[in-house]
Amino acid sequence: MDLADHQRKLLGLIRSSYQVTSVDESYFQNVSESSHLKEVRRNVYLWRVYVLERTCALTFNLLRQRDLLEPSLNAFIKQYNISPFRETQGPAFLESLLDHQDRLVASVAQFELAMMKARAGEGGSTTVLWKTDPVPVLASLARNKFLSVNGEAGDYETTISRDLPSLFETRRL
């Protein structure tokens, strides 16, 4: 086996995206059953939690409140080859949630990603559509308060741009 295949299998074991079969070398059999692999997976998970809790606080809080954090993080770790640099992890995580089946999660992730870009000085604007008033939702998430209601039902839009005084504005459609 060449080095690249060896590394791909190890990465797959760490991500839980590779399952060892009977034709694999005994080395991979041993690694797949080792406590060391469990510890590596735990460390990767905890590092992602640490970084994302600080860089994607709104989305992170919403996922935690809805008991979607662990499955979302596991899917992210399993499916995406993420740079070890924490500056890239938050945007990549938010991008992975833009099509989330929970529309509020998708809207919050899109909003937070657009805010990151606006703060970084990116030009242009982004529009996020909401099925509920985003102001109380975002306020609750920013304060890490439990989101008991999703705000007033209806169609809303948030525009995010570095050219706006507070970087975003919201209006009911």
pLDDT per position as a tens digit, 28-85? 999 999 999 999 989 988 888 898 899 999 999 999 999 999 999 889 888 887 777 7
Rg (CA), the chain: 19
- Measured over the CA atoms of residue 116, residue 119, residue 120 and residue 125, the dihedral's sign is positive
Q: pLDDT band for 111, please (50, 70, 90 cuts).
A: very high
pLDDT computed for residue 83 by the predictor: 75
Residue 168 has pLDDT above 60, yes or no: yes
Encode pLDDT of 118-167 as tens digits. Answer: 999 999 999 999 999 999 999 999 998 887 665 667 899 999 999 999 99
